[in-house]
Amino acid sequence: MKVPESDAMSDLRSPDNQINSQINRQSVKKSDRKNADFAMFQLVAALMIFTALVCCFFTIVNAGERGVLMQFGQVQSQILDEGLHPIIPIAQTVKKLSVRVQKQEISAEASSKDLQEVFTDVALNWHIIPAQANVIFQEIGDKVAIIDRIIDPAVEEVLKAVMAEYTAEEIITKRGNVKNQVDTLLTSRLSDYHIAVDDISLVHVHFSKRFSDAVEAKQIAEQDAKRADFVALKAIKEAEARVNLARGEGEAQRILRETLSPELLQKQAIDKWNGNLPLVVGESTSKVLDINRLIEKNIP
């Protein structure tokens, strides 16, 4: 049976048609993927634009901060507390200031009442008064400006004023009074700039090497003087002890002389007698010693 020519030609063209159909399907898939990616991009872009617009209309003040509200650059009386706050974009801006306790370490040089150089390392804890955050930003600026323009000069000036009222020795022995006076003066001074002082510590107070050497020499001299006083006192006590001992011996001898009697001496001699009469041998004769006569001669 003979196959028609048209059917034979269609059979020959069918592989090409299949390849073309596959290519078309792949193109459609790529186009759909591109459309899906573009749609996703549009969605993300829309969300970002929406978020940016929302952020322009709101501001967040974090914990431990206060927001200074400004309208066209002019500081407003309203202070924004912690939380979310609506604002007008472009017209209003917010400057955030920390009202937490800040630590500032300062080294200052001063002179004591007796003109000794005093070097002091100070640790100051302070914070911005929250209710006056807008005023301090308007008059002074941010944290860096507050430290450079207000805190550092105030600490140095107060230390110089207080140290000048005490001698070098008093600065060491009355350190608590010095610290309290510095605290009081600094609190009063910084309160005028809307800053509160939480605590101040005199971490380290030291003097010039010349003064330290003089203090060491003085201490050595005082120790030597105390040692000499001790030696002298010891000699005096030993002399007094010898005098008292001599007086005691003399008094004992006096009492002994007053209490001696012939009867007592005779009794002591009899108690110690061994039963043999002592014999005194002379050049010519020998005789027995008379105890009573011997006692009478020896009694004062």
Contact 67, 80 (CB under 8 A): yes
**Confidence at residue 157, expressed as pLDDT on a 0 to 100 scale:** 94
Model confidence pLDDT, tens digit, residues 264-298: 666 666 666 665 555 555 555 545 555 555 555 55
Give the Å distances, CA to CA, from 251 to 240, 248, 259, 264, 271.
Answer: 16, 5, 12, 20, 27
Low-confidence ranges of the chain (pLDDT < 70): 1-32, 212-221, 224, 256-300
Q: Indicate the SS3 state at residue 194.
A: coil
| Measured distance CA(195)–CA(98) in Å, rounded | 12
**Confidence at residue 287, expressed as pLDDT on a 0 to 100 scale:** 52
Q: Does domain 101-207 have CATH number 3.40.50.920?
A: no
| Measured distance CA(6)–CA(30) in Å, rounded | 35
**Confidence at residue 12, expressed as pLDDT on a 0 to 100 scale:** 45
Query: Which residue type is seen at 102?
Result: Q
Give the Å distances, CA to CA, from 203 to 122, 173, 262, 284.
Answer: 6, 15, 87, 105
**Confidence at residue 3, expressed as pLDDT on a 0 to 100 scale:** 46
| Measured distance CA(145)–CA(151) in Å, rounded | 9
**Confidence at residue 62, expressed as pLDDT on a 0 to 100 scale:** 93
**Confidence at residue 43, expressed as pLDDT on a 0 to 100 scale:** 83
Query: Which residue type is seen at 87?
Result: I
Q: What is the helix (H) or strand (E) element at residue 203, kind and residue range?
A: strand 195-207
Model confidence pLDDT, tens digit, residues 4-53: 555 544 544 555 666 666 666 666 666 667 777 777 888 888 888 777 77
